[in-house]
Structures are given as structure tokens and as C-alpha cells.
A and B are shown apart, each in its own frame.
Chain A
Amino acid sequence: EPEVTQTPSHQVTQMGQEVILRCVPISNHLYFYWYRQILGQKVEFLVSFYNNEISEKSEIFDDQFSVERPDGSNFTLKIRSTKLEDSAMYFCASNKRTGGNTEAFFGQGTRLTVV
């Protein structure tokens, strides 16, 4: 069964450093998302991406965040200068969304720890 894959599974970084989280969405999906989940809390939307541009972003997704689809398969989230409060699980998701709403498939997540 096709799945969304994310790398790395765990990333430890020093405050102020840049990190890039990587995702390979399901191959025939057109819509891509990043969500985050602070430990013990609910999953929060960060950004949605379609047709090589951001279609919606949340208040969390400030100038320190950016997304890119550098080739036909990868979808990345970059945090330019990490803060302690960026520590969370980051989930990539994708769906087809043709002919109406369909469920988003989530990856296993990258645990980001900022120290």
C-alpha cells in the first residue's frame, strides 16, 4: 500500500540553526500539507501546497518557515532559525482531492528537538 514517507524520524538541532524536514508524498497525490503536534497536544495545520504554490497557511507558519517541492517527488519544510518552541512532531500529509474531499494520508512524522 502506498504511503507518505518522512525523513529523518528524529532531528536534534541547536537553537538558531536551520533545519529541513523531508517528505515523499504518495505519488499520484496533488495536494500536500505540513502539520505539527506539540507533545500531548492536538495536531495543528501549518500549510497546504498545490500546483507549486502555497494555497493556505496558518498563523504558526511565519517568515521562518518555507516549503518547497524541489523535484517531482519530494516536499520539504524548512525552518530558518529554530526556536525552542519549534520542538514538536512534524507530519507531512497528502491527498488526491479530485471529485470532492478525500482523506489526507499522513506520514510517520519527524520529531524535531531544539536544544
Chain B
Amino acid sequence: GESVGLHLPTLSVQEGDNSIINCAYSNSASDYFIWYKQESGKGPQFIIDIRSNMDKRQGQRVTVLLNKTVKHLSLQIAATQPGDSAVYFCAENIGGNKLVFGAGTILRVKS
């Protein structure tokens, strides 16, 4: 879901379970989407991207799904590990000059 300020949505999962993080984007003209992971005190780190002419893309342990009809993006992480704990942001690219970031979701992995 969406949130602002300090009240980021939090997803808590057990180590080894699958995680699904959701994002609603704003602009139907967006043609490129990226998921970033941000650990405390660090910059956003690229996870996976998808172009608007695709609806699914898989990486290593991660899958991104794009539903342009409802402007929804999701990130699936298989076999979630403690090192996956971070804040996850979706970002949409509008016109190629900038990224517009979502509010972020905190992922907490319980051992």
C-alpha cells in the first residue's frame, strides 16, 4: 500500500518464506520501472527492472510483475533471507529524465 512520512508499510516474513511487495504507480505514460533495495544508511541498490511492453520478468530469486491496466507493480522474493531485510522502493521512469519513487515498504525477515 501507499504511505507517507515515517509510517511506511511493513512486511514481516519468516526466513525461507516468499515475500510479495506491492506498489501502485501514478503515470500511465511511464515506460520503465525499477525496484530498488535500500539498507540503512546506504543508497538505493538496483534489484530488477521491467519495461512497459512486458508483464513479467525474472531474476535470481526475484520476479517483477507489471499490471498496466491497474497501474500496479509487484516484487516477489523467493526464499527470503535475513539479508533481504531493507526498505524496498518501486520507481517509475517518465520520459527518461528522472525516476519517481514510491513511498517504500519495510521488509523484516524473522529468523
Residues of chain A touching chain B, judged by Cβ–Cβ distance below 8 Å, are 4, 33, 35, 40-45, 48, 55-56, 58, 91, 97, 100-101, 103-109
> Quick check: is B64 within 8 A (CB to CB) of the other chain?
no
Q: Choose one: B43, B49, B101; the contact of A103 (CB below 8 Å).
A: B49
- Across the interface, which residues of B come within 8 angstroms of A91, CB to CB? 43-44
- Across the interface, which residues of A come within 8 angstroms of B41, CB to CB? 108-109
B51 near A41 with CB under 8 A, answer no
B101 near A97 with CB under 8 A, answer no
Q: How does the 8 Å CB contact mask read for B25-41 relative to A, with 1 for contact and 0 for none?
A: 00000011010100001
B100 near A45 with CB under 8 A, answer yes
- Among B14-22, B68-76, B90-98, the one that faces the other chain is B90-98
- Across the interface, which residues of B come within 8 angstroms of A4, CB to CB? 43
A45 near B98 with CB under 8 A, answer yes
A108 near B97 with CB under 8 A, answer no
Q: In the assembly, what is the distance between CA of A109 and CA of B45, in Å?
A: 12
Closest Cβ of chain A: how far from B8's Cβ, in Å?
7
- Across the interface, which residues of B come within 8 angstroms of A101, CB to CB? 31-32, 49, 51, 93, 96
Q: Is the interface of A mostly helix, strand, loop or mixed?
A: loop
- Across the interface, which residues of B come within 8 angstroms of A44, CB to CB? 101
Q: Choose one: B6, B89, B99, B102; the contact of A104 (CB below 8 Å).
A: B99
Closest Cβ of chain B: how far from A67's Cβ, in Å?
14
CB<8 Å pairs between A and B, sample of 18: A33-B98, A33-B99, A40-B5, A40-B6, A42-B102, A43-B99, A45-B98, A48-B98, A56-B97, A58-B98, A91-B43, A100-B51, A103-B46, A103-B49, A104-B34, A104-B99, A108-B41, A108-B42
Q: In the assembly, what is the distance between CA of A57 and CA of B36, in Å?
A: 22
- Across the interface, which residues of B come within 8 angstroms of A58, CB to CB? 98
The 3 closest A-B pairs by CB, nearest first: A106-B43, A101-B32, A40-B6
B102 near A106 with CB under 8 A, answer no
Q: In the assembly, what is the distance between CA of A45 and CA of B51, in Å?
A: 20
Q: In the assembly, what is the distance between CA of A79 and CA of B31, in Å?
A: 32
